[in-house]
Structure 1
């Protein structure tokens, strides 16, 4: 029963929250669809932390895609077990270290810079701590367990389980013998997906494409004399 709860019900619940939450957030609160950038309050730590975090996350996500590909397919295209293990262990560890450093910088920035701390919500802090936990456990799996420890072939357990979720044929029994830190990594990752639509993480999907086709820019200016807000339109130069 516990296996079904953790490895079938919980993942599908979080994925449902991810999809439905984004639809609801988009339809009801587009004005809050933003990262609420704190760049004006502090720039130096944000520059380093954000750069390391985003590049590290992108590299790590690309590496995780390999779990969706069965061993047989990898071997058919010339990537044997040793090649995959070396790339996953050392490439994944490098990406994990970069991401963890960036995450720690961003977390310390939120906790230690007074102006940032005052403008941070509990949700902001919870999300970044959750992300730090995901990165740390992933790095532990890659380095401590697979590179210098006894090792665990997640391509025989986590990989098939994940593919089963996607094809709507979940096999919770595959996760029974998976090491604890692998389980924590996966559960926290799905929790982050479920919380995603309700946090500032939604800014990942935002790109100001509409600004590229605007012929006029609408802005507001405070009229100090009359105490009223005025709207003006400015036509950009061609």
Structure 2
């Protein structure tokens, strides 16, 4: 029963909240969609942390898409052996995981330790930063640590199959029963922040400056120059 809740009910619940929550917030809080900027308070740590985080997170997301969405038979069919695949996941994935973690560590430390930034932050801002830091850390440990302690474990034989079955509405919780705890925590915390997403400043990820061209209520003000 617990496995069924963790690996079937909970993921679907989080996805449903993610979708419905975004629709609800967009229809009721368009003016609060974008994030409050703290750049005017402190720039150096924000710039370094954001740069590292964005450099790392894009390859990390791409690695998740390939690892979860592409069956191992497909990579084997194009000549990528399991050894080569895991070597790439360990070294390349591990490198970008560390870069992402360092960026998130700087951003989280900045939000908690700089008084003026902390005072500008809401409770959800602090929770999101801390949770993102944990997700990145436990994900990095899952790849690097498990590769050392459990070298025979292949997430493509368990997690990837479970995830693809989840997407096609044929969930099988049994695939997750033998998955190491670090991977399980990474997945559960990932779904948790998915459910929190619509109700936090994370929604600004979907904001595009071009959207403002469609808004008729923007007021432009002319600032008079002081000739004195």
1:210 shift after superposition: 3.6
User: Unaligned 5+ residue runs, structure 2?
Assistant: 224-228
Q: Aligned ranges for residues 71-110 of structure 1 at < 5 Å?
A: 71-110=72-111
Higher strand share: 1
Structure-to-structure mapping, 1:211-230, within 5 angstroms: 211=212, 218-219=219-220
Q: Name the counterpart of 1:35.
A: 35
Gaps of 5+ in 1: 223-238
Distance 1:187-1:216 versus aligned 2 partners, 3 A rule: closer
Q: Quote the residue 2:57 is aligned against.
A: 57
**For 1:185-204, what aligned pairs fall within 5 Å after superposition?**
185-204=186-205
Provide the TM-score with structure 2 as the length reference.
Answer: 0.92
* Residues 216 and 174 of structure 1, relative CA distance in 2, 3 Å threshold: closer
Superposition deviation, residue 22 in structure 1: 0.6
Q: Secondary structure at the match of 2:156?
A: coil
Partner deviation per Cα, 1:60-114 (whole Å, 9 max, x = no partner): 1000112211111111122221121111111111111011101110111111111
Q: Which moved more, 1:208-217 or 1:172-181?
A: 208-217
Hey, what does 1:11 align to over in structure 2?
A: 11
TM-superposed deviation, 1:217: 6.2
Q: Distance in 1 between matches of 2:184 and 2:217?
A: 52
Work out the CA distance in 2 between the residues paired with 1:142 and 1:135: 11
Deviations 1:105-163 (Å, cap 9, x if unpaired)?
011111111110111111001001111111111111111111x2223210000000000
The Cα RMSD (Å) is 1.9
Residue 150 of structure 2: aligned partner: 150
- Which structure has the greater CA radius of gyration? 1
Provide the rounded CA distance (Å) in 1 between the counterparts of 2:160 and 2:216.
49
Comparing both chains, which one has the higher relative contact order based on Cα–Cα distances under 8 Å and sequence gaps of 6 or more?
Answer: 2
Residues 214 and 19 (structure 1), Cα distance of their counterparts in 2 relative to 1, 3 Å cut = closer
Q: How many residues are paired up?
A: 221
Does residue 1:208 correspond to 2:189, yes or no? Answer: no
> What do residues 159-191 of structure 1 show as CA deviations (whole Å, max 9, x unaligned)?
000001101000100000111111000000000
TM-score, with structure 1 as normaliser: 0.88
Deviations 1:10-54 (A, max 9, x none): 000000011111111111101011121111111000000011112
- Alignment partners' CA distance in 1, 2:189 and 2:215: 41
